[in-house]
Structure 1
Amino acid sequence: MVLRIATFNAENLLSRFDFSGFERDHRQDRVNQLYDPKDKEQYKQMEIARIVSLTDDTRQLTALAIADTDADIVCLQEVEDIDTLSAFERGYLYKMVGEGYRQKYLAEGNDRRGIDVGVMMREQTRDGQDIEFVRMQSHAHVTYEDFDLFTEELSERYNPKDRIFKRDCLEIDVLVGGKPLTIYVVHFKSMGSSRNGLDGKTYTMPVRAAEAKAVRKIIEKRFGKGKTDSKRFIICGDMNDYDERVVVTGDRRTGYDFKVEHEKHSAIDVFLSDGFTENVMLRRNELDRWTVYHTRGPDVQHLCQLDYILLSPALAKSSASIKPDIIRAGQPWRTVFPDGQDVERYPRVGWDRPKASDHCPLAMSINIV
């Protein structure tokens, strides 16, 4: 039988307003920076108008992107809470797919902005097999000390009793047609900007490496170390790291060039180095594995994979002939596509916004045997 699963960073799926930009310029949206509100109350009115006017288009595009995954189970990142997720599914996604995702699960994690990871599931797969929820376990409480993962590299910013996961590792057990499957949904530490003479990726690498090691420890504790080859598990989410990137040079006038550059290290190595899981995106052409376009102006731009579906050896073997799909129709027009990859954007997608998200959904059909 076939299960279709997707992962998607929906980018700030929130139901609240953030007025902190009034006191902190770096938190203020660029539109508001064009105006000079006389006081905080006027600033609040401006921010409410900005968010409300943008949100409807944005969430229609988010829903279209999820609908195009055609997934039975959708793993989500950057969701505020279960009420927000339910309101989005009812008000937007339902119009695209009908009552397809009645089962929703989310636990409050550690992110200071209140963005969590969650899961939506159909009651049956597309071919009529029951999807039955069994249990959910949050691991947001786990500390470096608990898992013996505190290192000297972390001591500058953290202490052993700090929590490892910057959001969570949400563990979901389901039965698909009566067969057990375990899903781990994650959202690792973001790279941020350069600090202490190091680029953002390198500076924050120890944090993501610890998160990845913690996920692996959770799985090995559950199934037995070195005994996971026959188990059905999937690790999904935004891992904010990459083994390779497509460096983009050029501009709209002269044209673009694309060059693949490989990284020496990434946090993803924890999952891949000894065959613990397979990154199924490697089944695609190396120029066509990206899920995010990153730019800080014309001199700094690249495409890379930050979003992952990592399959256990058993699932990778049973689905060896299947490639994952990437839904890019919700990307803004500023995103630079390599030759032959450009897609027809959804209606009302803007140059930078509105858009479905800064990330692309990633989906794959998996044979459960």
Structure 2
Amino acid sequence: MSHTRIGSFNVENMFERPKVMGRNATKHAAPVLAAHARFNELIALETYTPEVKEELRENLVTLELLRGDRSKYAILRRIRGRFLARHRTGETSVVASGRESWVGWVELTTEPISELATRHTAQVMRDVGAHVLGVVEAESRELLHMFSASMLKHVGWTPYDEVHLIDGNDERGINVGLLTRDAHEVITIRTHVYARDTSGIVFSRDCAEYHVRTPFGPEVVVLVNHLKSKGYGSPGDPIGARRRFRQAVRIARIVNRLRDEGHEHIAVVGDLNDTADSEALRPLFQRTGLRDISEHPDFEWDHRLGTYRGVNEKGKIDYVLLTPALFAKAVGGGVFRKGVWRGPRTRNRWDVYETMTDEVHAASDHAAIYADIDWSL
């Protein structure tokens, strides 16, 4: 059968991840991640006004870097110039006048992923068996390639033929990439990390554009995304929702531009961090005609209606969206949640790997999702 399986999987890093994003740091995650992002945004300013200096100092308090360059969750890297004055009285002040007066940044400390979690991630990839797999939160191309070459063999499968990843806009090393196998060849790559609108840079990571030639003749364009998270903004997420709306608008423009160029088979895959009925994602559906593979009558949900942890409809945040022409060739799809920790849940239990006996062994908080395409239709 002339068949292509297109999948999406948030791998949540494969070898190591920021310590503050670990499973035991939930209460610290939001303020630390917000402070990290804001600090690195502010230090790029040409001039540090008194107000900017005070906000920089406040962020250092949150990051616990006021009295030292290293804390549990972050490191202040100072390469050249003087940024801070730490006084004997206990006071700390920002003495740099602006970006040109010093070189440095704040980075998040990392910790290794459980060896079992890494193996279960490989088992999910093996068991889903996607020919074209969009991955979210991968550290780098080198590590993604290493993972494919070593861990997939370790679980009795063959590595992917091609491994692609372009560094995105997120400083935490959570990027989007694409893996292909079985004569599915990437022939064109385009990044959108520099896409801007009137509010600035659009994508939190990237909307990576991959043109894939299938062994059956047709070409499919895959846009891999990881939209702005809900988790680390202000209460109610107004800032995150506005950013996701801007990102949805731009993805819709990219899809429509591709269709104007003659590309009818387009898949938008990844972690969109919102539900399909949200205002933030509305432009993505209303302006493109994209359809979620989960709408297909032969889609298999595997016990729950969401993709994130054990949440139902409100946890449906991972997608394989298809243009009408590609959806017409879909013969089904599904959610694969065997690598997602279920805890003591007694209702709607899904199967998990026997060796996954603790939450730290989970492959991901996200289930994989996939669509099956039959090119002969």
1:142 is aligned to: 195
Change (3 A) 1:346 1:142: same
CA contact (8 A) 1:9 1:77 kept: yes
1:279 aligns with 2:292: yes
1:11 is aligned to: 12
Change (3 A) 1:326 1:17: closer
CA contact (8 A) 1:275 1:313 kept: no
Match of 2:307 among 287, 291, 297: 291
2:203 is aligned to: 165
Question: Which ranges in structure 2 are unaligned for 5 or more consecutive residues?
Answer: 33-67, 74-109
Q: Cα offset for 1:351?
A: 3.9
Match of 2:236 among 189, 199, 202: 199
1:175 aligns with 2:179: no
Q: Cα offset for 1:92?
A: 1.2
- The count of corresponding residues between Structure 1 and Structure 2 is 295
Give the alignment's TM-score, normalised by structure 2: 0.70
Q: What are the superposed Cα offsets for residues 26-77 of structure 1, whole Å, 9 maximum, x if unpaired?
A: 259xxxxxxxxxx999979xxxxx944x521110111111111111111100
Q: Cα offset for 1:331?
A: 1.3
How many angstroms apart in 1 are the aligned matches of 2:115 and 2:221? 34
1:105 is aligned to: 164
1:237 aligns with 2:237: no
Give the alignment's TM-score, normalised by structure 1: 0.71
Change (3 A) 1:222 1:270: same
**2:155 alignment partner, SS class:** helix
Change (3 A) 1:84 1:367: same
CA contact (8 A) 1:293 1:302 kept: no
Q: Which has the larger radius of gyration?
A: 2
CA contact (8 A) 2:209 2:221 kept: yes
Q: Cα offset for 1:99?
A: 2.5
Q: Cα offset for 1:304?
A: 1.5
1:151 is aligned to: none
How many angstroms apart in 1 are the aligned matches of 2:15 and 2:193? 20
Match of 1:186 among 218, 225, 230: 225
CA contact (8 A) 2:255 2:288 kept: no
Q: Cα offset for 1:101?
A: 0.2
1:220 is aligned to: 256
Please tell me the residue identity of whatever aligns with 1:363.
Answer: Y
Change (3 A) 1:16 1:77: closer
Q: What are the superposed Cα offsets for residues 115-136 of structure 1, whole Å, 9 maximum, x if unpaired?
A: 11001110x2xxxxx3222111
Q: Cα offset for 1:144?
A: 1.3
1:85 aligns with 2:144: yes
**2:332 alignment partner, SS class:** coil
Question: Which ranges in structure 1 are unaligned for 5 or more consecutive residues?
Answer: 29-38, 45-49, 125-129, 146-159, 244-262, 296-300
Please tell me the residue identity of whatever aligns with 2:218.
Answer: K
CA contact (8 A) 2:310 2:342 kept: no
Change (3 A) 1:217 1:81: same
Please tell me the residue identity of whatever aligns with 1:328.
Answer: R
CA contact (8 A) 1:167 1:186 kept: yes
Q: Cα offset for 1:14?
A: 4.5
**2:361 alignment partner, SS class:** coil
Change (3 A) 1:43 1:138: closer
1:57 is aligned to: 116
How many angstroms apart in 2 are the aligned matches of 1:343 and 1:114? 31
CA RMSD, Structure 1 to Structure 2 (Å): 3.2
**1:291 alignment partner, SS class:** coil
CA contact (8 A) 1:133 1:174 kept: yes
1:306 aligns with 2:330: no
How many angstroms apart in 2 are the aligned matches of 1:55 and 1:180? 38
CA contact (8 A) 2:220 2:266 kept: yes
How many angstroms apart in 2 are the aligned matches of 1:97 and 1:294? 28
Q: What are the superposed Cα offsets for residues 247-299 of structure 1, whole Å, 9 maximum, x if unpaired?
A: xxxxxxxxxxxxxxxx5x3333222236611011123589743101378xxxx
